[in-house]
Structure 1
Amino acid sequence: MKAMLIAPYSGMAEVMKQLALPSDVTLDIRVANLDEGEEFARQAELEDYDVLISRGGTALTIEKAASLPVIHIDITGYDMLRVFTLIKNMNKKVALVGFSSITQGAATLCNILEYDVEVKTVHTREEVKPLLEELKAQGFQAVIGDVITVQTAESTGIHGVLITSGKEALLQAVEEARRAFSLSKKVKHNFSLLHETFLHFPHPMAIVDEELSIREKNEKFDQMAQQDSITFSSIKRAIKDSIGSQTAKWIPFTANDRSYMLQIFCVNRYMAGLMFYPTSGLEKRSDVSIHFDVKPMALIGDSLYTHSLRNQLKKLSSQHKPVHIIGAPGTGRSAAASFLHIERFKEAPFLSLDGAQMDQSSLETLTKILLPIQKGTLLVHRLQAADPELIKQVNGLIERLPADIQILFIDEAPYLESGEAEALHLLPLVERRADIPAFAHYFLTSFHMENGSETLGIKSKAMDLLQQYTWPGNLNELKQTIRALSRQASGFYIEPEDVKKLLEAKQSLASSVPLTLSGTLKEIEKRVIDQVLNEENGNQSKAAKRLGINRSTLWRKLNDE
């Protein structure tokens, strides 16, 4: 250990020179007080000293000027007894002036030994001179204190008696310095390991302040910055929110043509950490997707079933078992999944896997994305449609995920391998007819906001007809029907005649003669397209997807005479 003693008076330096120090201690001694002590402290930093040792006001001053550990030499009971013995036969009015580190023990000792010494405490060195002048006016002729007090007393015309530090206090300070050095060595070692880990972290990482200035960055971030032009202006609000709320946030981030999953986390009240995980190519996949800002989906309806469903979802969101959301397409399975995600997480990612389209590459992509995520939701669609070997791998992956990754399944039929999962059964729309008005008005309001639809309501008899229909396509079919009715409406309200005509057309198509294979290939193709369009309620995008063609090809075939 290489230490420097900054002694506020020469006598301390002489005592220290006479002491036998441990063999692992190299001690250099400088005699200086206050401002001179600051200069020596700065010099010690430049010359690779490990620790500084000083006393009283000098120690407090250099502690503010240097980043090295500063060991304070305590005023011991022996030191106080020595100075009190020295003034014992002094026939003068005596006061002791100093900082609380001196006066607290001195006052106790004076009371025990019944010494007639006035004890005064100061908090800054600027207080010393006015206090001494006041003591002089009160007839005090001698003052006990540290170097600052004694020097000021002499200039004021009062006899100053210095409290000196004996060898016991100096040896105690050296031992304290050794302990501080040992601790500092461990801290530096740990810091070095953490800094090396930060520098060589396998993903880009940076620490920025609220003004988006980079305070620290690792090697991968430098490589990313060389490839792409990195700007943080688009995520400034997210950074400030993370610092302000002291919570982590996940958001998408794009640099040139490269996409990343970005985690923003609070470092302190002024800075945030950024960790970038590449996701380029994910936007082109239909089997694996990730969403960072999932909007809460309202659970529409006032029926007893809807109230019960809300209660079920709240209970399920508070436990950690996988949840199988079971129901036919269009029964609100995705809305239930979103509700569970929002109830449990607010800023975490929402991942989705389609078992029907999944392959080995899907699992590799999913695993890579899940690796850095500590909490979030994984929603698995149609797992039963996947290859048995892939199902086995998915289940193995799920078993390895942390408890804060919520696992949800969307199934049309029960798929529960063990009792370690919960099931949420969703009723078809025909079994919750009481909620149809609420859904119909909700959809109508959405179309009004999205498309500027001028249709403002549904006549009561028209609503009766909607509630009497069986809705084989559930909520999806109801939504498409309300969309069609709002477009066809000639006034501000959907009339019963419009509903009756549209529903009769639906029933007629549903009971029509099954598709035949007679005629030319072009005629058969036309019948197939018409039937798929009918089943998709006229939605050309969905029909094109089912037929395996793009929408422009479908449009051309529909318009080809």
Structure 2
Amino acid sequence: MRKVKVGFISPYEAMLPLIDELAVEQNDLEITRAVGNLEAGVALALEMERNGADVLISRGGTAKMIREAVSLPVVEIHISGYDLLRSIMLAEGHSNELKALIGFPNITMGAASIVSLLELKLEVVALSSATEVDNVLKGLKGRGVKQVLGDVVTIDAAAKLGLSGLLIQSGRETLLEAFEEARRLFWYAEKNQQQLRSLEMLVDRWQKDVVILAEDGEVLFERFPSFQEMPISHIELMELRTQVLASRTALVKLHGDVQPPFFVSGELLEDRSGLLTAWTFESLSLEDNHSAFSVAQPARLPFIVSESAGMKQVRQLIENHEGAEQSLVLVGENSTGKQTLAEYAHVFHDRKGLVLTVEMAKLKHPLPVFQLPEQSTLVLAADGLMESSNIRLTEELIQSFQSADLQIIATVPVAHERIVDVLGSPLVVQVPPIRERAADIPYLVNQLLTEYHQDLGTQPVRLREEAMALLTDHNWPGNLTEMKSYVRQLALAEKSYVIEPQAVKALPFEKKDGATPRLPLNPTDSLKEIERQIIEQVLKEENDNQTQAAKRLGINRATLWRKLKD
């Protein structure tokens, strides 16, 4: 008997490792999974339908939209009490700020019971319609709520308002239930699906990212195997279509202001029902690992832990800063969060432009003159003492900008006199190292546990008080870089929900001796154990950058993640 082909569309990335882990045990299922929420999820579902899926699985609003768009049976993943309890406990240990859980009654009834039973300070708000989300979030923000628990749509809406979001994730129990429901639905609908598959076999499969528009501009066909979704807006596509129809010739446009850059190509197709336009999208691979600058546009206020007296003062100085009228110099050891504080200043003062970060030590040649948008921020970043030539190029760079409203922020280990002179009379703010932020450490650790749970699907949600005390007593010579690496190793190694003191004692802290440590290999270890040690060492050397680590190891990022979970 053949395997049931299941298409799993997850609305968030962190569900993928759990799907992969459980899929190994589903011997009668052939599971293809992808990440896409709402419209993006529908596009993935249509592609899976074309590629021969028997049953589709998704969650929440995405599952409902998919059910309306495809002819396949669709299983909707429900949020269980276990899922609610995990998320609520994560939020409880994250910070002392006001929090709220938002959802429809099928979620909030169970959440309210948990909150009441455990006597937690968490407001539970029930929705009757998806259109209420924005108004509810605005009301919560006005009452001082800082963090919101909810589904993907709620978290995205909260981010636009500057609120921190914690996604309620589905656990293994609900996924196993979904797989069982997929089996039942498949055998029920197999006869109808056989007829549909016979028609799909006649469809020509074009392996490029493509959109075909009818004469009236309606989308007839779309496929995005590389980009996951159309990389330009519908309005821009309509403008390009007008140009092609007017000129009656093919069009090629380069989008070079994004990473990675890509080409859009459009041409006319003559059909008996009218003129069609066909559009393809192709990435332009530009390898430049030595680039001295990067551009970003932060969408929400970065989360800053400021329970310690030192960080409270830093936050107060930044928030009371005069903005573009006075430059800002953030002074502190490497990896103390200066870049995040610079972005915090940009968003807090409601600056609508871009954040251009320049690594001053990498300035080897003069950069071209940038015409930044109004209300942009220039971040001059330095990890250590620089040569005079780098400082001179930095001075020239500052003078080359023409924006009338440019905020300049320097993030440096020491306040270079020449940089201070060039900036005029900047406000100099000393950012304390982690060893001077004992009150912040529990919140930083819990924040990292939350991030790894959300991004990597790790199990632990908190530390025992004795275990947290061990982390608080450590002086963290590597600051946040060391803390992220250490907590990440703890989270990946722990298979239960609570990290005990023994786990901390068994994992030695990094020794800071100025030299790259040699990896001690025990010849009695298994090949699998040695492989894991090597992977963890490379990750540490790459500051937990999984993409760079995978490149050094000669494997893709998905394989790297799977090896860490084994």
Tell me the TM-score normalized by structure 2. Answer: 0.43
- Please identify the structure whose Cα radius of gyration is greater: 1
Tell me the TM-score normalized by structure 1. Answer: 0.43
Which gives a bigger RCO, structure 1 or 2 (Cα 8 Å, sep 6+)?
2
Bigger fraction of residues in helix:
1
